[in-house]
A = this chain, B = another copy of it.
Amino acid sequence: MQHTSFAEMPCPVARTLDVIGEWWTLVIVRDALVGARRFDDFKTSGIADNILSARLRKLVEEGVFERRPYGERADRFEYVLTRKGRDLLPVIAVMWDWGKKWTKGRTNTRLVHVACGTELTDVMLRGHCESCDRDVLPTEVRPLRPTAAR
């Protein structure tokens, strides 16, 4: 489906959405932040092959992922977040927090406060880590691999 492009809008939010606003894209980035690199790694979320291919191609074009060959076969690639891609961590972090607060369901993805290693529960929107009594910025968390199979 061809979307209206937000790329030319005079607003950084719209331009960000032009890069990462398609369905599945931030799920792919989330998985990359906890270690997914190869095509099959990203498929564990249930995304169809053709959609995954299209999303990865666009994210490489946009400089969010770098595509690197691996192994001996010339047609095997892995997808590694660039600095630009890793800078999306705060977007994932604040969405994780909003979802914890406002949606119902199990949570097998976890966020840890980098400064003290404490697993965060609902602290993000308050912006405070109760364990080390410091404010938590969305740049100061890291996600952990899911604790159980999806």
Contact = CB atoms under 8 A, between A and B. Distances in A.
Interface residues on A, range: 35 or more
A13 B32 CA distance: 13
A135 B1 CA distance: 41
A53 interface: no
A35 interface: no
A56 B92 CA distance: 24
A29 B30 CA distance: 22
Interface in A79-114: 84, 87-88, 90-109
B46 A13 contact: no
A36 to B, nearest CB: 13
Most buried by B among A92, A93, A97, A148: A97
A137 interface: yes
B137 A105 contact: no
Nearest to A147: B10
Given A98-B91, A102-B87, A138-B90, A27 B14 contact: yes
Interface of A: 1, 3-4, 6-19, 21-24, 26-27, 30, 45-47, 84, 87-88, 90-109, 124-127, 135, 137-140, 146, 148, 150
9 residue pairs, one from A and one from B, having the closest CB atoms = A12-B99, A16-B99, A15-B103, A127-B137, A10-B106, A90-B94, A16-B95, A10-B108, A11-B109
